[in-house]
Structure 1
Amino acid sequence: MTTENKFFSEFPTAELRVLVVDNDFKILEIIKQMCLHYDYNVVTFSDASLALNYLRENKYCIDVILVEVHMPNMDGFEFLKNVTEEMNVPIIMMSYDGSTSSVMKCVTQGACDYWIKPVPERQIMLMWKHVAKKIWNENKPSRKHVSKFASLVVDAPVKNQEEGSSSSKESEDYYVAQAKKTRVVWSKELHQQFVEVVMQIGLKDATPKRILEVMQNPNLTRQQVGSHLQKYRLELMKGSNEVTQQNERYMYCNNLVSEEDQLSNHSYA
């Protein structure tokens, strides 16, 4: 396994600190509930200017921002411009507007992604990857160093690329601490117990907190269970897609056989 792959596989996905901005209260609540389902810490705002003030006062306390493009007072573009100029936090823009011009404008102004509403739950589940990618890229120039998050050992200090990027350093330190907590060996027996508990609770309702309560394993933390739960869901989704593809191929072959039989019967008639 490469250092990069190890870094992403061990990245603590639970308790991601998310800021969501949207003037639609219904959308805010839906996204909030999806975030809580994956054990993320979420703060919501319906006013972009208030959200910006919150960020200025708590710039080291948010890992990723999800913001609507079209809003009254301060729209998403102005919000994006202010945030990218003042701090280094991944920003994901979202909108019902899927036009190329809107997408390109957001991306060229510094957004790390653009989501078309309604936001699929899978995108919320994988939102942590934007944070992981940011931290990995900030340390990428120092190739001789082993990633802190992969081995928790560094040959020498890695300097930030930009002066004054203390927010990056604090975010990095936060995840180093989280990574230390998330190192656990999921043995076959431990994984089997985990799966049984998830099936008992129900995959849709399973959260790290509920799983921990049922497993009653004092050596596990919410971060460890949260990360394992996300990987387990991804494996199930991958398996489901493979089964679907197999079924489609099976149906296609059956249709070909049926067509050949019909042609054969017609020729003998």
Structure 2
Amino acid sequence: MEEKTHVMQSSNINALSTGLHVLVVDHDSTCLKIVERMLQACNYEVVGVSHAMEALDIVRTRNGGFDIILVELHMPVTNGLDLLTYIRREFMLSVIVMSSDHKQEVANKCLEKGASFYITKPLSMVDIETLWQFVFLEKHSKRKASEMGMKVIKKIFLQYHPSLIAEVFAFKSVQIILLFLDLDATPSKILEAMSETGLSRAHIVSHLQVCHLV
């Protein structure tokens, strides 16, 4: 009975992970092969590479193109933390750092830099089976952030340019939302995206301050 239950649970988990694209980055070829096989056993679509910059090139070529990136922390030349920084700067992807380092401060540093999770090696099948959850959480947080960004935009237009709401939302909404949600976005960048509306930089700064975004 217990064995049957386990098979059913594994089947359900595989259904959730099937088709999700995972990029694995590890300079240790043995570890790389083991993790690749574990992921494939759970029906993930897997690409494995041994160099951080090769991984970054693949991500850029595919314009993101992955649901999860699983990266070893301690690698020569470009380490996992640097790769994490590059990827999070350009793409909103779930990056999970793995390492045999059990120090709490190391895990904290990775999480502070934007890692979705920190997993200690050796990875277990439970670790692998539950990776799909980070994809769900990432998409859920994006949706919530987009809703918040839209509210901010509406607040600006309703006060200053109500007659332009329909026109701007039709052509510029996606671009503006992305700017609002970009942590490095400045009032000048936002103003550039909204140039045809007649808003001034002062208007944007004022409203961002009201919404506690600057």
- Smaller-chain TM-score range? 0.5 to 0.7
- Which of the residues 78, 103, 122 maps onto 1:99? 103
Deviation string, structure 1 residues 154-212 (Cα, Å, up to 9, x no partner): xxx996852398xxxxxxxxxxxxxxxxxxxxxxxxxxxxxxxxxxxxxxxxxxxxxxx
Cα separation, 1, equivalents of 2:135 and 2:63:
15
**1:79 paired to 2:88:** no
Report the more deviating stretch, 64-73 or 131-140. Answer: 131-140
Counterpart of 1:90 (choices 65, 74, 94) is 94
User: 163, 167, 174: which is aligned to 2:179?
Assistant: 163
| Uncovered stretches (5+) of structure 2, i.e. residues with no partner | 1-12, 149-169, 182-214
Q: Which structure: larger Rg? A: 1
- Does the Cα contact within 8 Å between 2:21 and 2:68 map onto a contact in 1? yes
Give the distance between the partners of 1:16 and 1:104, measured in 2 at CA. 27
Structure with more contact order per residue of length (Cα contacts < 8 Å, sep ≥ 6): 1
Write the distance in 2 (CA, Å) between the matches of 1:43 and 1:115. 19
1:117 aligns with 2:121: yes
Q: What RMSD in Å do the two structures reach over aligned CA positions?
A: 2.5
Whether the 8 Å contact between 2:24 and 2:48 is mirrored in structure 1 is: yes
Question: Aligned equivalents of 1:110 and 1:60: distance in 2?
Answer: 16
Identity of aligned residues (%): 31
Letter in 2 for 1:109: K
Question: Which one-letter code corresponds to 1:39 in the other structure?
Answer: N
TM-score by length of 1: 0.49
Aligned pairs (5 A) from 1:230-241: none
Gap runs ≥5 in structure 1: 1-8, 144-156, 166-269
- Partner Cα separation in structure 2 for residue 77 and residue 60 of structure 1: 18
Deviates more, 1:97-106 or 1:53-62: 53-62
- Count matched residues: 143
In structure 1, how many angstroms separate the alpha carbons of the residues matched to 2:71 and 2:33? 14
> Contact (CA 8 Å) 2:74, 2:80: kept in 1 or not?
yes
Shift of 1:132: 0.6
One of 130, 136, 140 as aligned partner of 1:132: 136
Instruction: Provide the C-alpha distance between the structure 2 equivalents of 1:27 and 1:131, rounded to a whole number of angstroms.
Output: 23
Q: Quick one: which amino acid aligns to residue 162 of structure 1? A: L
What residue is the counterpart of 1:45 in the other structure? 49
- 1:59 has 2:63 as partner: yes
Runs of 4+ with deviation above 4 angstroms: 157-161
Match for 2:53: what amino acid?
S
